[in-house]
Amino acid sequence: MGERFIWWKHGVFYQIYPRSFMDSNGDGVGDLQGIIQRIDYLADLGVDALWISPIYPSPMADFGYDVSDYMDIHPLFGDMATFDRLLTSAHEHGLHVVLDFVPNHTSDEHPWFVESRASRQSARRSWYIWRDAKPDGSPPNNWESFFGGSAWQWDEATSQYYLHLFLEKQPDLNWRNPQVVKAMHKVLRFWLDKGVDGFRMDVVTFLIKHASFPDNPILPNPANPDRTIQEHRYDINQPEIHAHLRQFRHIFDSYPGDRVTIGETWFMNPKELVSYYGKSLDELHLPFNFITLRQPWQAQAIRQAIHSYYAALPPGAAPNFVFGNHDVHRLATRYGVENHRSVALLLLTLRGAPTIYYGDELGMQDIQVPADRLQDPVARRKPGTDEGRDPERAPMIWDSSPNAGFTPAGVQPWLPLPENYPKINVLSQRADPTSTLNFYKRLLRLRRELPVLQRGDFDFVDQVPDHVLAYTRRMVGQHLLVVINFSGATIKLDLSSLEERAEVLLSTQDLEVGTIELADLTLQPYEGLMLKLL
Ligand code: GLC
């Protein structure tokens, strides 16, 4: 267990959605200078790395996930000099910086696409995926966009369809074209040369499509017998993707320091997920693990998800866990306010690199967005569904002043503030020892101080009732126990088979810590505990 501390393996990631973190120039949208202003907060919180969602020039059809220039900064967020200052400041504060790489698609306003669509003879025509219509004029196949509707958009001027697995304003690049590959490698090198510590790669499993574009199978929808769903068999997760990941990894490994490749890998099947580490661990360092995020908050379901994930991991692969991000509803909303601290306890004490989504450390909940203030294209395309992502993207709540210290009074923030911000904000929570913020800080401090939480072995404890999840973390000289009550009942446990006595290091409910007898362990409703076995 003499392994050194490797920041991306043992440290904690914190995701910043830059539009919503801190607005320094009063336009209602967060920016890079805003992040610089709040860097002390992030360092003090006790995280190790920042992952910043896209900051590049973009028409913002998908809020930055539609890039029109990969090697510049959107003026809304600042300029390259501000970015350089942010990188320096983060590094000076001991924080690594991970950017978002959006390789599957560009904006339709990217000069590459503008040129590609200009004519069938354009030198960049084959940088994107163009196909003729079927004889009846319909799209080349049945592929659906992940944001709804056909994935093919008809281009009147050149009489062909182009592929977009997301919005029609996000045409898919053709990764079978070596020129595209070369151009995107250049992008990675540009930022790595600047000293960026890594990339989270957006929908990286989508890059390669089946060479002959067959129809996807249509399956019955288990959730709704009147409807069908499309199995994404031919548009994503194609075997040829792995060669590209190895090339990415080769680039990253040629740089000094530990640079990290993270992938947005939405697989529920652990075997499929872990294939993205590569056969010789030569692909992604961290294929994001969303398996636990998709489970109901039930001890057995969560246990099974953790177990099957760990069991599938190839030897030497670094595990990771994600419970919240900018695409899913807020953690405190999904799991309930009574449980969200236990989710944090789980996230930060499992074996694997955790990612915290900004604001979850305050227990922020989903906001209600009135119809006339909807921003997310998904919300607008799928009205009446629960799929819109605005609710989890509310501005960060720094204090109780008008606009929560996110943007000056009188300015309309790009999304509404959470209604309860006058009570629940960074400033108020700082002053309250029982706050969620202080709970996270204690948890993060323990994780930093106790190498067993970063590197120790993990074992489930079996002799607990159904509504309890318990596990130990162990390394030479350090033995911890985590116990979480998923029910609203008080539960008494006898865990004396592990040890006689333990010291409570942290509780989701109480500040009180002390020594207890493990033969007589009481868990309050929904309580989670971290204990040190004595
Ligand atoms: C990823 C991003 C999401 C975006 C989509 C298309 O899933 O996380 O926010 O809309 O890719 O780029």
Mutation test of ligand 1: which of 16, 165, 203 has the most ligand atoms closer than 8 Å to its C-beta? 203
Q: How far is the CA of 202 from the centre of ligand 1 (A)?
A: 6
Instruction: Count Cα neighbours of 178 within 13 Å in the Cβ-side half-sphere.
Output: 0
Q: How far is the CA of 102 from the centre of ligand 1 (A)?
A: 9
- The verdict on whether 386 is a catalytic residue reads no
Which residue, by CA, sits nearest to atom 3 of ligand 1? 327
CATH architecture for residues 7-103+178-443: Alpha-Beta Barrel (3.20)
Q: Rg (Cα) of the chain, in Å, rounded?
A: 24
Mutation test of ligand 1: which of 19, 56, 65, 167 has the most ligand atoms closer than 8 Å to its C-beta? 65
Per-residue pLDDT of the chain (534 residues; tens, 9 = 90+): 457 899 999 999 999 999 999 999 999 999 999 999 999 999 999 999 999 999 999 999 999 999 999 999 999 999 999 999 999 999 999 999 999 999 999 999 999 999 999 999 999 999 999 999 999 999 999 999 999 999 999 999 999 999 999 999 999 999 999 999 999 999 999 999 999 999 999 999 999 999 999 999 999 988 888 888 999 999 999 999 999 999 999 999 999 999 999 999 999 999 999 999 999 999 999 999 999 999 999 999 999 999 999 999 999 999 999 999 999 999 999 999 999 999 999 999 999 999 999 999 999 999 999 999 999 999 988 888 889 999 999 999 999 999 999 999 999 999 999 999 999 999 999 999 999 999 999 999 999 999 999 999 999 999 899 999 999 999 999 999 999 999 999 999 999 999 999 999 999 998 887 999 999 999 999 999 999 999
Please calculate the CA angle 188-189-190 and round it to the nearest 5 degrees: 90
Instruction: Count Cα neighbours of 160 within 13 Å in the Cβ-side half-sphere.
Output: 16
Other beta carbons less than 10 A from residue 249's beta carbon:
18
| Gap between the Cα atoms of 105 and 322, Å rounded | 24
| Gap between the Cα atoms of 310 and 300, Å rounded | 15
| Gap between the Cα atoms of 150 and 141, Å rounded | 9
User: Where are the chain's structural domains?
Assistant: 7-103+178-443, 111-163, 457-533
Write out pLDDT tens, residues 402-418: 999 999 999 999 999 99
Report field, pTM of the whole predicted structure over 0.85 = yes
Which residues sit opposite 481 in a β-bridge? 472, 531
Which residue, by CA, sits nearest to atom 7 of ligand 1? 203
Q: Which of 109, 125, 115, 136 is nearest to 162 (CA)?
A: 125
CATH architecture for residues 111-163: Alpha-Beta Complex (3.90)
Q: Which of 31, 108, 197, 264 is catalytic?
A: 264
- The verdict on whether 264 is a catalytic residue reads yes
Mutation test of ligand 1: which of 62, 101, 173, 201 has the most ligand atoms closer than 8 Å to its C-beta? 62
Please identify which residue in the block is written with the tokens 């929570």.
429
- CATH tag, 457-533: 2.60.40.1180
| Gap between the Cα atoms of 432 and 430, Å rounded | 6
DSSP 366-414: PPP--GGG---HHHHHSTTSS---GGG-PPP---SSGGGGTS-TTS--S
User: Ligand 1: which atom is nearest the Cα of residue 166?
Assistant: 6
Ligand 1: list residues with CB < 6 Å.
Answer: 62, 65, 102, 166, 202-203, 264, 326-327
| Gap between the Cα atoms of 265 and 262, Å rounded | 9
Q: Which of 31, 202, 283, 360 is catalytic?
A: 202
